[in-house]
Amino acid sequence: MSEPACAHAREGARPVPYRGGGFAPRPRRWAGAAFLAGLIAFWEMCSRLGWISPLALPAPSEALAALRDLAQSGLLAKHLGASLGRLAQGWTLGVLAGIAAGLAAGLFSLARAGILPLVAALFPIPKIALLPLFIIWFGIGEESKVATILFGTFFPMTIAVYGGVDNVDRTLIRMGQSFGLSRLSIIRKIVLPGAMPAILSGMRISASIAIILLVAAEMIGAEYGVGAYILLAGNLMATDQLVAGVMILSAMGLTVSWLLGMAERRLLRWRA
Amino acid sequence: MARKIMGETRRAAAQGWTRRAALGLAAGLGLGLAMAAGAAAAAEKVAVGALRFTSHAPTFIAYERGYFADEGLDVELKFFQAAQPVAVAVASGDVDFGVTALTGGFFSLADKGAVRVIGGLMSEHPDHDGSAVLVSNKAWDEGVRSMADLRGRSFALTQFGSSFHYMAGRIAEANGFALEDMRLVPLQKVGAMIGALKSGQVDAMAIVPHIARPLDAAGAAHIVGWVRDLGPYQVTTIFTSAANTTERPELVRRFMRAYARGIADYRAVMLDQDRDPAATEAMVDLIHKYVYADRPREKAAPSIKAGAVHLNAGAALDVADVERQLTWFKKHGLAPAGLTMDKLVDPRFQPAGE
Amino acid sequence: MDLRVVGLTHVYAGAPVLQDIDLEIPSGRILCVVGPSGCGKSTLLRMLGGLERPDAGAVLQVGEPPEGCLNPLTYIFQDFALLPWRSVAGNVALALEDRRLGRAEIARIVDDVLARTRLSAYRDALPRQLSGGMRQRVAIARALAVRPACLLMDEPLSALDAQTRELLMDDLVGLWLREGFTACYVTHNLAEAVRLGHRVAVLSRRPGRVREVIEIDMPLEERAERMPELAVHERRLWQLLREEAAAADQELADV
């Protein structure tokens, strides 16, 4: 203890105990990557030492080898191309439809009365259960695959947009009206930008759901596609390929998250 | 699935404790023989994976008529929706015996040293109905009249690497075109395959006779050929875990003896159903307890009778055809290149029964 | 253009909020409206600008709005109501965008009004980068951009701290001296009312009625220097309001 502190101590004074801090996680750029790398190294070690049976889980090096074979055979590009095409179509259509329905539910009483119960009733239905119906409705071609992803992304998007529109500051809308802006202008210039944070977070969720549904969508008549590749690996009990396929899905998830993060930084600069 | 497999790994790692290791030890000390011989000895617990198909009837017959019990086996039937999970369950040690078609997944499990084929069950036979090749009305109208016309057509499968995939390969081979000349459409479920065929979204598929004939009769599709015309085909096989074959061969032998009796009963009645109608009805009653149990008997009976397929006497395995299948799967990258017949088949349990 | 309120009455969910309000806002003058909280001041203001419909009575425009007026009745809101995703210039431009003006014309008006309100240096800043006082200045600039016939100000200084409020009051006085706008200024702050109002209307507690309209006959530009004289008016207003405020304070909120 230092001299003045001693003096205070004699008077019976002591520092107030510190109770703050914590609860404020900050991004640690390299910690995440290091943690992941460490985990994979540990997994590899367990496989090499025979602690994990190859029947249970292939070593990461085997999965990477499967991935390399896939890339060298040229099939990786085919699978990725097919899947990304379906994802792009299904997700874009689902997001656009979700924005439209969410806006309608957020702005018009009648639309709200119609859409909200419908969303509540249909959102929880696993889309995979509807696959047989989708085959009848949309056939076994691309349409049923796109539709599966579309339906999966539409509902979370509707909910996110509706919530976002509901949360747009009403005084901003009054302001728009007081300056004589048209209804369309108010929606375009005030409601949509105001709901943009919610729309972007809805896009994040729906993009993840779209990737989740990829495997289900490609159960039906898909020759190429990451989901079809994973299904085939499962059928053949080729666990190294299975894990390789899952790695591709993870990479897709990471990429989408990164792209949306960039979009958020660009579009939501005003939020700081 | 992974959990179970890991459980097995753990079990294997902790040897010396498990039921299986203890039994192996007992057998090694010569006690196994005594247990097997005396009905007085406590029956050995065995789990058999079963699917609710007519082609699995010997399992139900041997169980219902006490053939397993006669061999000192206390059998527990475990029901599955598809054959692949049975193979996985056998690999993980949750089930001891199962019946499956040879598929890419099964070959892979065999390559990993988890499962081995010990006998044959269903096979295509020149004198009996086997799988039929159906084409959609649309394809029929476009002039598809035989298997040879399937070149350039689409063909429905459950999955790549399934027996349907193999049948497509056999059709292509027998008619002198490449498998790539057909567009293969995986649809996961037989129901989806039938739906796609009826609606003309696929041109063709192969399917068991009791599904094919009614579709043809109802005008929903057309039978243009039979898989049996393509030559001998060992469709389903009986298998167990590799550990069972090495650690408990005597148990496997007893199981196969009982199973062969079930097959014999089935063949005696179902392959000539008019010879003894009373026996046929009794057999239908027995099978109906397990197959189509959700339908009333009068509705289930025709399907059960029509579903009578050819099962090999004595669970004999057509080893040559198994080898041919393995070669085909390897050639198409659907089976591990390193898998040998020695690793896939254990012939010591052939022939089974008297 | 004058604004006249005739026999205006409004009922919310069965409870009257405003009753028989008669008011006159002559051109070029500022009318302040004070009253205890919940007396319907803000409702009255929304009706003045046509954002809400009264149950009875009417708000009348007397005479034509001056030449070049784009939005005769223009609000300034308590919480500024700036679009956070638009820059200062973008927020001002918003008010002009549905008016069939050319892009160049809009840019010219924005530049002009930012210069007049001394905001030119901030034209590209986002609202979050500005202090509360600066944000309200932007809102005022936006209101001036549409050359209003009458400004409707809803407690425009209430969200600001006391020092900023003083500065903005000086700004508003300076602006009125230069532009001579007409305004209805709703506030609960009596000091603001006597500084800015040519006349001050006192509303009673709910249902709001006009208790009295007092005239303050002192030029706006002199008021900062003659605070003691204004204090007399302020005290008188407080006497009028005191009982109403006390009674209003004891009421149960059931709306």
Domain harbouring C13, CATH code? 3.40.50.300
Q: Is residue C216 part of a domain?
A: yes
Q: Flag the least confident range among A116-120, A184-188, B1-5.
A: B1-5
Query: C168-219, pLDDT tens digit by residue?
Result: 999 899 989 988 889 999 998 999 999 999 999 999 888 888 989 999 999 9
pLDDT band at B20 (very low <50, low <70, confident <90, very high): very low
In chain A, % helix, strand, coil (3-state, to 5) comes to 80, 0, 20
Q: Is residue C196 part of a domain?
A: yes
Q: Chain B within 8 Å of A55 (Cβ-Cβ)?
A: yes
User: Structural domain of residue A203, as residue ranges?
Assistant: 74-271
Domain boundary among C147, C181, C196: C147
Look at residue B1 and tell me whether its pLDDT is greater than 90: no
The number of folded domains in chain C is 2
> Which residue from C minimizes the CA distance to A193?
C85
Mean pLDDT on A25-29: 78
Q: Is residue A256 part of a domain?
A: yes
pLDDT band at A4 (very low <50, low <70, confident <90, very high): low
Give pLDDT, residue A12.
Answer: 82
Distant-in-sequence, close-in-space partners of B113: CB < 8 Å, separation ≥ 6: B242, B343
What span, in angstroms and rounded, lies between the C-alpha atoms of B6 and B38? 36
Per the omega criterion (within 30 degrees of 0), is the bond before A17 cis? no
Q: Is residue C71 part of a domain?
A: no
Q: Is residue A168 part of a domain?
A: yes
**In B144-248, which ranges are continuous DSSP H helix?**
163-174, 190-198, 209-217, 242-247
Give the tokens for residue A195.
Answer: 């709901």
Look at residue C3 and tell me whether its pLDDT is greater than 60: yes
Q: Chain B within 8 Å of A140 (Cβ-Cβ)?
A: yes
Q: Higher-confidence residue: B299 or B354?
A: B299
Give the tokens for residue C209.
Answer: 């009625």
* Number of Cα atoms under 13 Å in the Cβ half of residue B332: 22
Give pLDDT, residue C195.
Answer: 92
Look at residue B108 and tell me whether its pLDDT is greater than 50: yes
Of A56, A131, A228, the CB nearest to B9: A56
Give the tokens for residue A213.
Answer: 């549904």
Give residue A83's identity as a one-letter amino acid code. Answer: S
Q: Is residue A107 part of a domain?
A: yes
CA of A142, closest CA in chain B: separation in Å?
Answer: 12
Ordered DSSP codes for A23-34: S-----HHHHHH
Number of residues in chain B: 354
Residue C162 sits in the same domain as residue C49:
yes
Mean pLDDT on A240-247: 92
Categorise residue A250: left if φ over 0, alpha if ψ from -120 to 50, beta otherwise.
alpha
What span, in angstroms and rounded, lies between the C-alpha atoms of C147 and C69? 5
pLDDT band at B205 (very low <50, low <70, confident <90, very high): very high
pLDDT band at C224 (very low <50, low <70, confident <90, very high): confident
Query: A53-109, pLDDT tens digit by residue?
Result: 877 788 999 999 999 999 999 899 999 999 999 999 999 999 999 999 999 999 999
Query: B172-191, pLDDT tens digit by residue?
Result: 999 999 999 999 999 888 88
Which three-class secondary structure state does DSSP give residue C149?
coil
CA of A93, closest CA in chain B: separation in Å?
Answer: 25
b/e sequence B181-211, b meaning 16+ C-beta within 10 Å: ebebbbbbbeebbbbbbbbbbbbbbbbbbbb
**Interface contacts A/B by beta carbons within 8 Å:** 91
Query: A172-181, pLDDT tens digit by residue?
Result: 999 999 999 9
CB contact under 8 A, B192 and A136: no
Query: B229-282, pLDDT tens digit by residue?
Result: 999 999 999 999 999 999 999 999 999 999 999 999 999 999 888 888 999 999
Residue C168 sits in the same domain as residue C234:
yes
Give the tokens for residue B126.
Answer: 């020149």
| ipTM here | 0.88
Look at residue A1 and tell me whether its pLDDT is greater than 70: no
CB contact under 8 A, C75 and A189: no
Considering only CB atoms, which chain A residues are within 8 Å of B91? 55
Q: Chain B within 8 Å of A52 (Cβ-Cβ)?
A: yes
Query: A202-241, pLDDT tens digit by residue?
Result: 999 999 999 999 988 998 888 899 999 999 898 888 889 9
Tokens 């070959």 belong to residue: B107
CB contact under 8 A, C95 and A179: yes
Number of residues in chain C: 255
Residue C133 sits in the same domain as residue C174:
no
CB contact under 8 A, A237 and B162: no
Residue C228 sits in the same domain as residue C240:
yes
Query: B62-92, pLDDT tens digit by residue?
Result: 999 999 999 999 999 999 988 888 999 999 8
What span, in angstroms and rounded, lies between the C-alpha atoms of B99 and B236? 7
Which three-class secondary structure state does DSSP give residue C11?
strand
CB contact under 8 A, C79 and A171: yes
Q: Is residue A169 part of a domain?
A: yes
Q: Is residue C234 part of a domain?
A: yes
Give B241's strand partners. Answer: B115
**Backbone phi, psi, residue B116, to 5°:** -140, 145
Query: C102-158, pLDDT tens digit by residue?
Result: 999 999 999 999 998 889 999 999 999 999 999 999 999 999 999 998 999 999 998
Give residue B3's identity as a one-letter amino acid code. Answer: R
Q: Is B275 exposed, middle or buried (0-12, 13-18, 19+ CB in 10 A)?
A: exposed
Tell which residue, C3, C12, C16, has the closest CA to residue C203: C16
Residue C135 sits in the same domain as residue C222:
no
Give pLDDT, residue B29.
Answer: 41
Tokens 């303050």 belong to residue: C216
b/e sequence C164-197, b meaning 16+ C-beta within 10 Å: bbeebbebbbebbeeeebbbbbbbbebbbbbbbb
Residue C103 sits in the same domain as residue C226:
no
Q: Flag the least confident range among A30-39, B7-16, B310-319.
A: B7-16
Residue C58 sits in the same domain as residue C170:
yes
pLDDT band at C253 (very low <50, low <70, confident <90, very high): low
Residue C55 sits in the same domain as residue C157:
yes
Considering only CB atoms, which chain C residues are within 8 Å of A189? 83, 94, 97
Considering only CB atoms, which chain A residues are within 8 Å of B191? 132
Domain boundary among C97, C112, C147: C147
User: Structural domain of residue C118, as residue ranges?
Assistant: 82-147
> Which residue from A minimizes the CA distance to B110?
A237
Q: Is residue A182 part of a domain?
A: yes
Q: Is residue C77 part of a domain?
A: no
Q: Is residue C12 part of a domain?
A: yes
Q: Is residue A214 part of a domain?
A: yes
Give C213's strand partners. Answer: C201
Q: Chain A within 8 Å of C101 (Cβ-Cβ)?
A: no
CATH code of residue A261:
1.10.3720.10
Query: B320-330, pLDDT tens digit by residue?
Result: 999 999 999 99
Look at residue A150 and tell me whether its pLDDT is greater than 90: yes
Domains of chain B in start order, with CATH, are: 2-122+235-349 (3.40.190.10), 132-231 (3.40.190.10)
C-alpha of B126 from chain center: 19
Give the tokens for residue C157.
Answer: 């200084």
Mean pLDDT on C1-18: 89
CA of B345, closest CA in chain A: separation in Å?
Answer: 18
Considering only CB atoms, which chain A residues are within 8 Å of B103? 235-236
> Which residue from B minimizes the CA distance to A235?
B105
DSSP structural state of residue C156: T
Look at residue B35 and tell me whether its pLDDT is greater than 50: no
In chain B, % helix, strand, coil (3-state, to 5) comes to 50, 20, 30
C-alpha of A215 from chain center: 15
Give pLDDT, residue B263.
Answer: 95
Q: Is residue A90 part of a domain?
A: yes
Q: Is residue C188 part of a domain?
A: yes
Please, what sign has the CA dihedral across residues A51, A54, A58, A60?
A: positive
CB contact under 8 A, C83 and A190: yes
Considering only CB atoms, which chain C residues are within 8 Å of A175? 75, 77, 81
Domain boundary among C97, C128, C147: C147
Give pLDDT, residue A200.
Answer: 94
Q: Is residue C74 part of a domain?
A: no
Residue C60 sits in the same domain as residue C95:
no
Report the residue of C71, C73, C75 to disrupt the A interface, i.e. the one with the largest count of A CBs within 10 Å: C75
In chain C, % helix, strand, coil (3-state, to 5) comes to 40, 25, 35
Q: Which helix (H) or strand (E) holds C74?
A: strand C73-76
Q: Chain A within 8 Å of C81 (Cβ-Cβ)?
A: yes
**Interface contacts A/C by beta carbons within 8 Å:** 55
- Asked if A touches B (at least 3 Cβ pairs < 8 angstroms), the answer reads yes
Contact C139, C74 (CB under 8 A): no
Residue C16 sits in the same domain as residue C59:
yes
Give pLDDT, residue A126.
Answer: 86
- Asked if C touches A (at least 3 Cβ pairs < 8 angstroms), the answer reads yes
Residue C10 sits in the same domain as residue C39:
yes
Q: What percent of chain B has pLDDT over 90?
A: 69
What crossing angle do the helices spanning B319-331 and B104-111 adopt, rounded to 10°?
Answer: 100
DSSP structural state of residue A189: I
What span, in angstroms and rounded, lies between the C-alpha atoms of A9 and A50? 61
> Which residue from B minimizes the CA distance to A133?
B192
Residue C41 sits in the same domain as residue C62:
yes
Give pLDDT, residue B8.
Answer: 43
For A7, A131, A236, B180, B270, the CA distances from B156, given in Å and listed in that order, are 90, 16, 18, 14, 30
Report the residue of A43, A49, A52, A55 to disrupt the B interface, i.e. the one with the largest count of B CBs within 10 Å: A55
Q: Which helix (H) or strand (E) holds B322?
A: helix B319-331
The number of folded domains in chain A is 1
Q: Which helix (H) or strand (E) holds A148?
A: helix A142-166
Look at residue B52 and tell me whether its pLDDT is greater than 50: yes
Pairing of strands C150-154, C73-76: parallel
Tell which residue, B34, B59, B58, has the closest CA to residue B44: B34
Give pLDDT, residue C254.
Answer: 53
Of B12, B103, B188, the CB nearest to A219: B188
What span, in angstroms and rounded, lies between the C-alpha atoms of C182 and B159? 79
Q: Is residue A226 part of a domain?
A: yes
What span, in angstroms and rounded, lies between the C-alpha atoms of C107 and C116? 14
